[in-house]
Structure 1
Amino acid sequence: MLASITGNTKILGVIADPVSQARTPAMANRLLDERGRLGDFVMLPMQVSAEDFPAFITGLRALKNFGGAVVSMPHKAVAAHLADELTPNARLVGAVNVIRRNGDGRLIGTMLDGEGFVAGLAGAGYSVKDAHILLVGAGGAASAIAFALAKHGCASLCIQNRTPDRVSALSERVRHAYPQLEVTTAIHETSHYDIAINATSLGMKPNDELPIANPLIRHCDLVAECVIAPEMTPLLQEASGQGKVIHTGVPMLAAQMHLMLAFMGAE
């Protein structure tokens, strides 16, 4: 591998804070190796704080051998404002999880989290069509997943988050784009969900609270995660202990990987 890295190698990145838990570099470089493209491209972790992120993005425009990057927490929403151009899906969601650098230095952003999540579920044999779904989160990934669930025909969508204003804003945007869909922000005692999704960062740290309250898990058939590391989060452990079907965050990333590399020009 080292011998294949030359002065012509294009650098791809994973930008996050923290980044130590990221599986994307290993998965991407393995795919590049399988395709005979490792050396033409290589993916590296890039730990950048929220405070330094705007300046870092400016620097990427000047880095001529930079091909693109996967953008992870906490930068997805800010990246949408800093990119020079957004794909229609990124504009709709208001967040970016992949950027590429064009030859003129312009940065183009897209959002693949939603389609990746739905594809990951489908690959495990679960469909969101006609499903009643609970989505916890209102950030970039949650927004992308909300629009993808609506696009793929879920029957109803209940969105929860610790920040009421963000939940209200996301709910209104989804209703505006999909007026036929029942979108709520309230949970009732009789509520039942075919699928419950954690699209927050809760679960990455050992002392995080459960993103879905213990009693509410009993009202859900399948509990799904977006957190990748640890793969078995406390939420999934609790849901499994209650006899629920669980779905880790890894299939969401795996389903996106080919799309991410293609967008960054590493076909």
Structure 2
Amino acid sequence: MLASITGNTKIIGVIADPVSQARTPIMANTLLDEKGLWGAFVMLPMHVSAEGFPAFIAGLRALKNFGGAVVSMPHKVVAANLVDELTPEARLVGAVNVVRRNQDGRLIGTMLDGEGFVAGLACAGYSVKGANVLLAGAGGAASAIAFALAKHHCASLCIQNRTPERASALSKRITDVYPQVEVTTEIHATSHYDIAINGTSLGMKPNDDLPISKSLIARCDLIAECVIAPEMTPLLQEASDQGKVVHTGVPMLAAQMNLMLAFMGAE
């Protein structure tokens, strides 16, 4: 297979900090191989800090054999301000999780997290239509998921965030586009949720706080993750211990992998 890497190989990547936990390279390269495209394209991990991210993005415009990259935490929101053009989905969410380099060096950003998350749930047999949903987070991935939940007709959405102002701002943006969905940032004593989602990075590190409290987990039926590694996060472990149905973050990535590769030209 190594002979397939030539001077014509296009480099695609996954940009994150940290990136050592990323499953994207092995999933993407396996899929490229299945499609007969491995060698024409190869995906590499790209470990870039928040401080170095703007300069790194600028440099990608000059790399003529760069096809694009999956953009992961913590860069999704910043990336939306650094690319040259946003798709309607990315503009609506205000974040980017895939970047494509055009032949002229212009960088185009899109957002697939939301559709990927809903599709991942659907593949596991869960529908968001008519569901009362609790969402932890208001960053790039969480925003994408929030808009996708509203688009796919959830009945209500409660957004919680460590910075309440960000939760309120996201709530207003969703209400402006999907006024038929009940969106709130308040949890009431009688509140019960069909689905609870962690849209934050909490859970990637062993000592992270739970993004959803133990007492609130008890008031939810299905607990779902965006964190991919570890696959069984402390949140999911706690939910499982409470007898709740759990849904890992892996299906979200798997559901959007073909879309990501296609957007970067690997089709």
- What TM-score comes out, normalization by structure 2 length? 1.00
* In 1: Cα distance, 2:180 partner to 2:220 partner: 23
Where does residue 265 of structure 1 map in the other structure?
265
Where does residue 93 of structure 1 map in the other structure?
93
Question: Cα distance, 1:180 vs. partner?
Answer: 1.2
* In 2: Cα distance, 1:237 partner to 1:52 partner: 35
Where does residue 46 of structure 2 map in the other structure?
46
Q: Which amino acid aligns with 1:50?
A: A
Question: Cα distance, 1:136 vs. partner?
Answer: 0.3
1:209 aligns to 2:182 (yes or no): no
| Equivalent position SS for 2:99 | strand
* In 2: Cα distance, 1:169 partner to 1:83 partner: 23
Structure 2: 5+ residue stretches without partners: none
* In 2: Cα distance, 1:190 partner to 1:169 partner: 25
1:35-93 residue CA offsets vs partner (Å, 9 max, x unmatched): 11000000000000011100000100000000000000010001000010000000000
% same residue: 84
1:127 aligns to 2:127 (yes or no): yes
Where does residue 72 of structure 1 map in the other structure?
72
1:172 aligns to 2:172 (yes or no): yes
* In 2: Cα distance, 1:17 partner to 1:218 partner: 32
Where does residue 245 of structure 1 map in the other structure?
245
Question: Cα distance, 1:99 vs. partner?
Answer: 0.3
* In 2: Cα distance, 1:156 partner to 1:40 partner: 45
Question: Cα distance, 1:165 vs. partner?
Answer: 1.2
1:29 aligns to 2:14 (yes or no): no
- What TM-score comes out, normalization by structure 1 length? 1.00
| Equivalent position SS for 2:230 | coil
Question: Cα distance, 1:147 vs. partner?
Answer: 0.1
* In 1: Cα distance, 2:221 partner to 2:164 partner: 26
Where does residue 187 of structure 1 map in the other structure?
187
* In 2: Cα distance, 1:234 partner to 1:55 partner: 35
* In 2: Cα distance, 1:145 partner to 1:207 partner: 25
Q: Which amino acid aligns with 1:33?
A: D
1:111-146 residue CA offsets vs partner (Å, 9 max, x unmatched): 000000000000000000000000000000000000
1:60 aligns to 2:63 (yes or no): no
1:14 aligns to 2:14 (yes or no): yes
Question: Cα distance, 1:189 vs. partner?
Answer: 1.1
Root mean square deviation, CA, Å: 0.4
* In 2: Cα distance, 1:259 partner to 1:197 partner: 22
* In 2: Cα distance, 1:94 partner to 1:162 partner: 19
| Equivalent position SS for 1:82 | coil
* In 2: Cα distance, 1:141 partner to 1:172 partner: 17
Q: Which amino acid aligns with 2:241?
A: G
Q: Which amino acid aligns with 1:110?
A: T
* In 2: Cα distance, 1:68 partner to 1:221 partner: 38
Structure 1: 5+ residue stretches without partners: none
* In 2: Cα distance, 1:213 partner to 1:182 partner: 23
1:223 aligns to 2:213 (yes or no): no
* In 2: Cα distance, 1:29 partner to 1:85 partner: 27
1:153-179 residue CA offsets vs partner (Å, 9 max, x unmatched): 000000000011111110110011111
| Equivalent position SS for 1:148 | helix
